[in-house]
């Protein structure tokens, strides 16, 4: 069932009310806005979506809200990962039944499995749930990495469609690109490396930056794919300071701050995440001047 995902996919934030509950009205508004702005797909319940601080019931409600709002117009990929393989399998089944177009499965954090355990962690879902799976490699968060050999092995599975590569290591990315086939989607998981990953055969980006610049992020990928490398390079470098500012503190604190400064009113965070520092707030404010 290999499915080709490509383009600019937003790792969408989860907006909260002042009391900390999910703001579903705002979430529907954001999902519709991304469709209107040309975003190629939406990833819900990822790192940026703060699913690590939400209950399973809230995760299900957020996924259902976005899937219903988008209504098949662009793909919706749901983060179903866990360091418990059984929990990951249960969440994957749920999002399959809700009508998601794909799953984003993170490496098993804290457990830090060996290569065989890492393979089986993902294969358990791929063998059971008949829908496209995107692996998620982000060792800065998980404390472990999916080895290139495990990625190559999983890439042969008909339900493993690609990887979100967020190590920030271009050497690792090149190794992955060399080992997989053209029908395997290689997404940049780092907004400051969209163009380099595309140059290695990448299919696009799963982006934090797209939460505030969906059109520019889409245009960067589309320009490269149309052969206009100069335009893609210009966009990558023009917005590099803003992209870096969105990671001046742990994600998604700065991007939510940026959205709130822009009047998007996505609310705050759940502990252990909290409001941005004054220095971080000023860094974000200055970086947003590029949009003026």
Contact indicator for 218, 8 with CB cutoff of 8 Å: yes
Catalytic residue among 119, 136, 172, 269: 136
Secondary element (H or E) of residue 154? helix 148-155
Look up 136 and say whether it is catalytic.
yes
Catalytic: 269?
no
Which pLDDT value is given to residue 141? 86
Q: What's the pLDDT tens digit per position in 6-58?
A: 999 999 999 999 999 999 999 999 999 999 999 999 999 999 999 999 999 99
Residue from 157, 189, 196 nearest 174 by CA: 196
Q: Which one of 164, 172, 239, 269 is the catalytic residue? A: 164
Is pTM beyond 0.75 here? yes
Residue 189: both structure tokens together: 């998981």
CATH code matching the domain that covers 7-228, chosen among 1.10.260.40, 3.30.540.10, 3.20.20.70, 3.90.380.10: 3.20.20.70
**What confidence category does residue 112 fall into, taking pLDDT thresholds of 50, 70 and 90?**
confident
Question: Torsions phi, psi of 9, nearest 5?
Answer: -105, 130
Taking only the tens place, the pLDDT of each residue in 93-107 is: 999 999 999 999 999
* pLDDT tens per residue, range 198-225: 999 999 999 999 999 999 999 999 999 9
Q: pLDDT by residue (tens digit) across 63-76?
A: 999 999 999 999 99
Q: Which residues contact 179 (CB under 8 A, 6 or more apart)?
A: 148, 149, 151, 152, 155
In the chain, where the domains are located: 7-228
Give the model's confidence band at 263: pLDDT under 50 very low, under 70 low, under 90 confident, else very high. Answer: very high
User: Which token pair is 83?
Assistant: 């360091």
């Amino acid at each position: 069932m290999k499915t080709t995902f490509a383009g600019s996919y937003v790792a969408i934030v989860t907006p909260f009310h002042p009391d900390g509950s999910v703001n579903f009205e705002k979430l529907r508004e954001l999902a519709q806005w991304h469709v209107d702005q040309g975003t190629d797909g939406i990833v819900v319940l990822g790192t940026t979506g703060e699913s690590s601080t939400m209950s399973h019931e809230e995760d299900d409600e957020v996924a259902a809200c976005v899937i219903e709002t988008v209504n098949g117009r662009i793909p919706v990929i749901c983060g179903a990962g866990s360091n418990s393989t059984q929990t990951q399998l249960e969440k994957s089944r749920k999002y399959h039944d809700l009508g998601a177009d794909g799953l984003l499965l993170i490496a098993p954090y804290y457990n830090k499995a060996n290569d065989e355990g890492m393979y089986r962690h993902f294969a358990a879902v791929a063998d059971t749930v008949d829908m496209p799976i995107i692996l998620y490699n982000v060792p800065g968060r998980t404390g472990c990495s999916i080895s290139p050999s495990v990625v190559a092995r999983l890439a042969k599975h008909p339900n493993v469609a690609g990887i979100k590569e967020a190590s920030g290591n271009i050497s690792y990315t090149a190794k992955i690109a060399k080992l997989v086939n053209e029908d395997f989607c290689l997404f940049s998981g780092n907004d400051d490396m969209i163009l380099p990953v595309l140059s290695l055969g990448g299919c696009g980006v799963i982006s934090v930056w797209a939460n505030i610049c969906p059109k520019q992020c889409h245009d960067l990928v589309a320009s490269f794919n149309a052969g206009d490398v100069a335009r893609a390079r210009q966009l990558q470098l023009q917005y590099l300071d803003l992209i870096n500012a969105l990671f001046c503190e742990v994600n998604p604190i700065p991007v939510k701050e940026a959205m709130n400064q822009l009047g998007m009113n996505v609310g705050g965070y759940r502990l252990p995440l909290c409001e941005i520092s004054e220095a971080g707030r000023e860094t974000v404010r200055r970086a947003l001047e590029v949009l003026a």
